[in-house]
A and B are shown apart, each in its own frame.
Chain A
Amino acid sequence: MNFAAAQEAKTSAEIITSFLPAVAVAVPLAGSLLVLAAGMLGQKKLRNFVAVLTALAAFAVVLAMYPLVQHGQVVYRFADLMEYGLFLRVDFLGFLFAAIFSASWLLATVYATVYMKSEQAQNRFYVFLLATLGHCLGVVLAGDLFSLFLFFELMTFSSYVLVIHRQTEGALRAGAVAIYMGIAGGLALLMAMFILFFAVGTLEIRPLLEEITAAGVNPLLVIGLFLVGFGIKMGLVPLHIWLPRAYEEAPTPVNVISSAAMLKAGAYGLIRVLTMIFSPASPGAEPAAELLISQVGFAVIWLGTITMLVGAVLALLQDNAKRILGCSSISQMGYVLLGIGVAAFLGVEKGAVGYTGAVYHVLNHSVFKAALFMMVGIIYLNTGEVALSRVRGMMSKVPFVAAMFLVAYAGIAGIPGLNGYASKTLLHHAIVDAYKYGHAGSLQLAERIFMLASALTVVYFAKLFYRLFMGRPRPEHRQLQFKVAPQLKSLLAVYTAAIFSIGLFPSVVLNRFIIPATAGFSFDYASVKYLGKLDFWVSKDLQSVGVVLIMATVLFLAFDHYRVFDWQAPEWLSIERSFYLPLASFLLKACCHFGVTFDSAVNRTYLKSGELAGGACRYISSFDSSLNTAYEKAGGTARHLIEQTERFDGALNEAYEKSGGLARRLADGTQAFDASLNEAYEKSGKLARQLADRAAQADDTLDDFYEQSGRRSRSLWDRMRGRPSDWNIKNLNFDSFLIALMLGLFLFILVYYTKIR
């Protein structure tokens, strides 16, 4: 078959608009509200029942999409919601993930009804458990990156509440690392989305490589940001540091859903980005860009290899059973990453094998890791311990669990006949293909590391099994009656059945569920078809399992002999201690310290400038006061002058008055003379008296005159001493007055500013 046929097959896929994806997201969200209501009423049984029922309903709704996704894509669009619009689109891959998620959730919720019985704040737990399901389903059912991002962020927050459920100090610290890294990852995603959206104008999840190339965006930058954003969630080394601790602190049902679903959400995002968005819609059109993506794939292969090795080594060194399983999850996600890397590396022509390996491994990991967590949880329920140094000999106490553990162990180890074998074989094929077709010699080394990591998986699980189940139980556990609720037993049975059925019929699962998930991707139809005919039971693949087992035996004996299992890694080896904590504290210190110093410096500058201005003002005021003194002196002189003048005026007045007095005396004299004259010339008639009267009149007017002249001269002096407002403003115009006012106000402000402290 050729490309044209493949294109035809792709276009023939229908687009079905259906409400189902929205219902799948909405059911758990609505269910969480119902659970809240039931919990508030104090109906514990009802609440648990509603929680399980909701998970079941979500699972049923997802399954109801199965007939639809076989024909094509199921879409539903909430136009314009949040301005951009929410868009849900389910192809087979999305459906597969949604089915895995909702199934795991259903089982985990049932598990929780038993496990959480004696825990605190159960209402909150169930509410957020179901809300997280809704958000996780949203991630895998999203049709564009915007919706995916929305649910991804919501998932980060709702899962946080689950992680810190116990609210111990350790849990809060683990949760803080998780949520801050989650937010940082979310922001990296957002940045990548901005670049992509701006360049291409769409955030739809479909092959966009041509458009991205045409827009001239640097794909390395965008892919790098996506790798960080999704890598944090899936525990990509070196971004894994939140994971082991969060797993240790979270209650077991949360571990189950976290390893079965939330890690996978990160993987899902990377699959969408690397093998869908950055894949060509029509292969061969942009050879340069495809080459670049293939190089990115090469890097991702190595990231996956490193992740699987580091995760395995970390798991080897842990003492806490939950931590071992958490590190094991990191390692297993490395396998998935390797598959995604191969898919990108080999491109659309031959990459299908990596893609299917990755998806298959996601499915398998969800099954066996969930089962393993549940088993460890059962031991915790009975003993209250999960540290290997404090629990042993459980075989005699819970033989049923031990047997199931062996099955899951065999599953994760990749023993033929159990589920891990199929996906690991596919992934092994993928890395061999990458080496064979990719002409990159270093990938042979990657293949060796793949084998080594697989062997280490066997080794650390051997350690876990050995320590947990073998030997005699500790004295304090010997008398304990171990109880395993029937629900838990049946859950384990379900998982065991799944492990066996996938393991015994790998081809059926591959052809029915994994290969259809290539729909919508650009993989070469012929290579996919060829993949479907893959026979898992060939001696070559079985041999490599043998090689892994032999390596594992040798390693186990060697490690046991040299006590590697109990080796306490020095602190500086921890990437968290040696890199992240210093980095975080440096950044925080740099940022806050710098910020605070800067801020207070600004503040101080203000005060300083105020002080300076105050100094200036003091100077000016001293100048002003000296000016004042000068004025006062001048004023004193003037006053002195005026006083002098006044005295002169007074003297003058006196002189006038004296002269007036003289005149009066003269008049008196005249009057007396007149009287005597009168007396003497009484009879001499009127004429003389008239004359005398007239003289007296003349004297009065003279007196008035003198007095008036004195007053006039006094008021002149008064005026000259007078009111300054009369002359101050007259010669200055309005503008300069304003400027003076402003300057004055300004100085006033600055002066008083200094008083603020």
Chain B
Amino acid sequence: MGMATSFLPVWIVMFPMVMTLVIYYVEQHNERMRNALAVATSVVTFLSVLSLYPYIMAGNIVEYSMFQLLPNLEISFRVDILSFSLALLSSFVWMLVSIYSIDYMCKEHGCNRYYPVLIITLASCMGIFLAGDLFTLFVFFELMSLISYVLVVHEESLEALRAGYKYLIMTIIGGLALFFGIIITFELGGSVSLGGPALITVPSSLAFFAFISFLIGFGMKAGMFPLHVWLPDAHPVAPSPASALLSGIMLKTGAYGLLRVIFHIFTPGMLQDAGWMIILAVVAIITILLGSAVAITQDDLKRRLAYSSVGQMGYILLGMSILTERAIIGNIFHIFSHAFMKSTLFLAAGAIILKTGKRSIRELGGIGRQMPFTMFAFTLAALSMIGIPPLSGFLSKWTLSLGAMDAGLPYFVLVLLVSSLLNGLYYLPIIIAAFFGAEEGHEHGLVKISEAPYKMLIPIAILAVSCLLFGLLPTNLPFDLSRVAADYLLRGGF
């Protein structure tokens, strides 16, 4: 296990930032160039992250500290296996989404606003995952949260503005809580670095406040109950590619932050001894059941998906609260599989909305016969969400459940299974209606609806196939990364 200083993390974060300006300049003159640049930026970012692969997998850590913003508070980057995994995942999904955006957004207004924001959000997301200390993480976290507001309110409808406002307010509350937590950490630990030994090892009331603050700050982003209220409003109103990123990737920054807090700020052992993890466990269980139950009653397709995200984030939080090795593996793997599944679902929903203009599930009868490819991808991801083997959702549930059994908590397994049943109750009717239900729209003279353009279908296909492959294949990158990352987190080494 070695350390190295490399400029690459800075490059990964700064490149899209600089490119944002370039895109902003270019788009004033040439729209096609803008699209090409946005895709190129995300591709290059992905490749840059990927180029770290051999180095990281050899057990090394890359560090780079830039400058001190305030005394003792510096902007620094640190790439370990967990950072790398999530950065890889995010940049990959981002790449696909930006390809998807080209055709999806072509009929939308305000594309000149959309693309720079998309790319700078990528930059800040990379910044979160590659941050070397809490302060840097916080800076990028706030940047991402505030900028993604623009994505949320893109439609500029009253509904979107309201949802965006709610989102903004909650984000600021979360940011303040986070700031509070960081201040306490700095006070108690004398540092906010994520690379060193645990900063808070003795439970105290101040430390408890820090824990709660982090829980609020990151949990808000992760859609944790009772801070999830913004999520079902904000995710559906955003344009579909943005929803895919919001649900698929940006929720995960909260989960990532909590992982860092549990393993680097505190120690898992101390958190368990102090009994603070029970809070997380209880909240996670409520999140799972609440999200799944409420999703059943939603009629808006994207809103149902958003509530489903709440439930699925509950799995990730639950995995975090259990803290056995298999639970952590399952937790990290579920970050992967949920990113793939939910992006597929949102992108497929976007294709349907683009082609039919229908958002209500009741109107989706027969859509599977008109857009078989899109709905097939949707089905694959939805079945994965229910946890049908051999799809990736099953594997994460399987691993999480074994983790819960390891900790002697069979009731958690029961919660997971009940929620699987609920997932079935809200996903299957969509699929059944789409493929076997009565067709809508016959009365107004058959409107022939065709598949979305291929630039939208290819990203959907890649993501949907990932849901299958990452469940089925014996050795797949996400699972290996999760395993190594869990090992790294629990033992502090490879």
A interface list, Cβ under 8 A from B: 78-85, 149-150, 153-154, 157, 164, 167, 172, 175-176, 179-180, 183-184, 187, 190-191, 194-195, 197-198, 588, 591-592, 594-596, 598-599, 602-603, 605-606, 742, 745-746, 749, 752-753, 755-756
Contact = CB atoms under 8 A, between A and B. Distances in A.
A175 B428 CA distance: 11
B366 to A, nearest CB: 10
Contacts of A752: 165, 169
**Residue of A153, A176, A594 with most chain B CB atoms under a 10 A cut-off:** A153
29 contacts: A78-B474, A79-B474, A83-B395, A83-B479, A84-B398, A149-B389, A172-B432, A176-B428, A176-B432, A180-B428, A183-B386, A183-B420, A184-B421, A187-B421, A190-B401, A191-B417, A194-B401, A194-B405, A194-B413, A591-B293, A591-B422, A595-B289, A595-B297, A596-B293, A596-B294, A602-B225, A602-B226, A606-B229, A756-B169
Given A83-B398, A756-B162, A749 B432 contact: no
A603 B390 contact: no
B290 A198 contact: no
Contacts of A756: 162, 165-166, 169
A85 B472 CA distance: 9
B173 interface: yes
A492 B165 CA distance: 71
A749 B297 CA distance: 31
Nearest to A179: B428
A150 B432 contact: no
A41 B418 CA distance: 43
Contacts of B458: none
B290 A598 contact: yes
B337 interface: no
B390 A150 contact: yes
B432 A198 contact: no
Contact of A167 (B173, B388, B436): B436
A82 B472 contact: yes
The 7 lowest CB-CB distance pairs between A and B, nearest first, are A595-B293, A80-B474, A198-B405, A150-B389, A187-B417, A595-B294, A591-B293
Nearest to B183: A738
Contacts of B143: none
A81 B421 contact: no
Nearest to B166: A756
Given A172-B432, A184-B421, A198-B406, A746 B176 contact: yes
Interface residues of B, number: 51
Interface string B163-180: 001100100110010010
A81 B469 CA distance: 10
A183 B418 CA distance: 11
Given A190-B417, A592-B296, A749-B172, A172 B437 contact: yes
Contacts of A198: 402, 405-406
A1 B48 CA distance: 72
A179 B471 CA distance: 22
Given A82-B472, A180-B425, A164 B293 contact: no
Given A197-B402, A742-B176, A588 B166 contact: no
B475 interface: yes
Nearest to A167: B436
A195 B410 contact: yes
Contact of A82 (B383, B390, B422): B390
Given A82-B395, A153-B389, A198-B405, A191 B414 contact: yes
B12 to A, nearest CB: 30
A157 B401 CA distance: 23
Contacts of A164: 432, 436
Interface in B86-101: none
A187 B417 CA distance: 6
A659 to B, nearest CB: 61
A80 B293 CA distance: 34
A400 B332 CA distance: 64
Interface string B375-413: 000000001001011100011001101100110001001
B195 interface: no
Nearest to A124: B435
Interface string B421-435: 110110010001000
A640 to B, nearest CB: 44
Interface in B459-480: 471-475, 479
A187 B474 CA distance: 23
Nearest to B473: A81
**Residue of B172, B290, B406 with most chain A CB atoms under a 10 A cut-off:** B290
Contacts of A749: 169, 172-173
Nearest to B298: A596
Contacts of A81: 390, 472-474
Contacts of A592: 293-294, 296-297
A88 to B, nearest CB: 14
A756 B162 CA distance: 6
Nearest to A742: B176
B478 to A, nearest CB: 11
Nearest to A590: B293
Contact of B421 (A153, A176, A183, A197): A183
**Residue of A83, A594, A745, A753 with most chain B CB atoms under a 10 A cut-off:** A83
A81 B389 CA distance: 11
A487 to B, nearest CB: 29
B169 A753 contact: yes
A190 B413 CA distance: 10
A42 B241 CA distance: 37
Contacts of B422: 591
B404 to A, nearest CB: 8
A157 to B, nearest CB: 7
Contacts of A599: 229, 290, 294
Contacts of A197: 402, 405
A682 to B, nearest CB: 85
A157 B383 contact: yes
Contact of B296 (A149, A153, A591): A591
Interface string B285-304: 00001101110110000000
Given A154-B389, A595-B294, A605-B226, 20 more contacts: A78-B474, A81-B390, A81-B474, A82-B389, A82-B395, A82-B471, A82-B472, A84-B398, A153-B389, A164-B432, A164-B436, A175-B436, A588-B296, A591-B289, A591-B422, A592-B293, A595-B290, A595-B293, A745-B172, A746-B173
B220 to A, nearest CB: 12
A571 to B, nearest CB: 25
A216 to B, nearest CB: 12
B79 to A, nearest CB: 26
Contacts of A605: 226
